[in-house]
Amino acid sequence: MKFFKQKTNIVFLFVIFLLVASLSGVSYFAYEKHSDYVEITAGIERNNSALDEAQKKIDELTAQIADYSSKATQNEQEKAELNSQLQAALAEKARLEQENNNLKSQIEQLVQKRRDELQAQIALNNVDQADTAGSGICYLTFDDGPSDNTLKILDILDAYGIKGTFFVVGNGKTQYMSQIVNRGHAIGLHTATHKYDVIYKDINSYLHDVKQISDIVYNATGVRSNIMRFPGGSSNVVSAKYCQGIMSDLTVRMPSLGYSYYDWNVNSGDADAVAVPAQTIVNRVLSGAKGKSSICVLMHDNAAKTTTVEALPAIIEGLDAMGFRFAPLTADVYGFYQPVSN
Ligand SMILES: [Zn+2]
């Protein structure tokens, strides 16, 4: 062929060949490059979305940590506040203990003072009792009522035109309480239950019992009585079985609460047995009254004590013959105190 026979043409063809070969090489590499790009871009996108997830998780955890920190701060503050409250409570406890000790020593002093006063009064009373017989007043007192004997006792007192004093209990016979008051006699508080183990258990039990009988009397009669007699008297020692020193406290406490309490200086002895013969009771009272200028006679108003009722007219007549006049107890009358022994 004429064309291939010319040297320049062969060179030309060779050049063309080189051109074509180099172009296809470039496009091959370009293609390779493009496919990497797509893959990497997809990778970046995957990573971005994972990054978003990771960021979300980081935000959540950061918020939770912040929450815990704020709670921890709050707890620390609460703990500090509780600690300061604890310190204040401890200080208050120490202060109250100190105050209690002071008050206890004040009570000790009062009790001692009261004992001294009582001893002085008892001594004075003994001197008084040595005076001329029959110049004074007789206070007839009846404990443990009302009972089915109350009206009989009232009838006898009324027949002689004299007044007595009834230290009553809470036994349900309130209908007789109004009779006592309406007929002009004195009504005093003895006890609601008359159970030594209950009332002398502690101060609060005793005060509770007094409130009970006070309310019973008030509801039955409209009278808020301020005169009282301790079960067993203020000198009783049976209370020591239940509470050491309770009478020393109560003999100071009750007057400070506005009550006058009464013991006695003549014991009728009507409680020495279920039924003491009437004449024995009369003799005991009249001999007990001998040599005393003023007397407070202890008797009992109880359904079983029929001989007390029987003895009463002779007691009144005998004391009257000795020169005694009769009166109901009032809060200003001296209490005929016996020495406190518990
Ligand atoms: Zn009694």
pTM over 0.95: no
* Residue 113: predicted pLDDT: 80
Separation in Å, CA 78 to CA 70, 75, 89? 12, 5, 16
25 Cα to the center of ligand 1, angstroms:
133
C-alpha span between 177 and 304 (Å, rounded): 19
182 Cα to the center of ligand 1, angstroms:
23
Show the domains of the chain with their CATH numbers. Answer: 131-326 (3.20.20.370)
**Residue 5 confidence class, pLDDT cut points 50, 70, 90:** low
* Residue 199: predicted pLDDT: 98
Place of tokens 């159970």: 195
Q: Average pLDDT in the 326-341 region?
A: 93
Model confidence at 133: pLDDT above 60? no
143 Cα to the center of ligand 1, angstroms:
5
298 Cα to the center of ligand 1, angstroms:
10
233 Cα to the center of ligand 1, angstroms:
8
197 Cα to the center of ligand 1, angstroms:
14
167 Cα to the center of ligand 1, angstroms:
8
Burial class of residue 313, CB neighbours in 10 A (0-12, 13-18, 19+): middle
Model confidence at 130: pLDDT above 50? no
Separation in Å, CA 31 to CA 19, 20, 122? 19, 17, 133
